[in-house]
Amino acid sequence: MESLLEEEKLRRAEEIARKRAAGYEVPADPLTDEAMIAQTAARLVEVQKASMELRSAHSNASRRKEKGSLREEEILALIKSNPDMDVPLLAERLSVGLSMAYLLVGRLKKQGRIRRDRRSGKWMF
């Protein structure tokens, strides 16, 4: 009998939640309020976990962006010291893969911070 009552409480609580979400005013019902509190408490752990994962992902993205900015500054410093330097040598000096070096140089070009002179082959700022 108790399990049937609990099922009925949950069913009514979900029904009231749907009506409230649709904008209807639903009178307070002590049985369903109790069930809704229990549902909220059960979902709270899930919501907290999802929130932590979202914060972690945001933090990781910020760190990656910061690391990329630092790499771009390193590239600029290397190019200033040797304007004839090519991308494979940049990759070697930065200890990154060739594709990452091309990606970073491409970003700097897109930002307009560097360009390559077609005649001399030297980097320009």
**Could you tell me the residue ranges of all domains in the chain?**
2-124
**What is the predicted pLDDT for the residue at 106?**
93
Identify the three-state secondary structure at position 25: coil
The whole-chain average pLDDT of the chain stands at 83
**What is the predicted pLDDT for the residue at 108?**
94
* Residue 117, token pair as written in the block: 């002179």
**What is the predicted pLDDT for the residue at 8?**
79
List, for residues 37-89, the tens digit of each pLDDT value: 666 666 667 767 777 888 888 888 889 889 888 999 999 999 999 998 999 99
> In terms of pTM, does the model score above 0.85?
no
- Let me know: does 35 contact 28? Beta carbons within 8 Å: no
CATH of 2-124, one of 3.90.870.40, 3.90.1150.10, 3.30.450.70, 1.10.10.10: 1.10.10.10
* Residue 74, token pair as written in the block: 């390193």
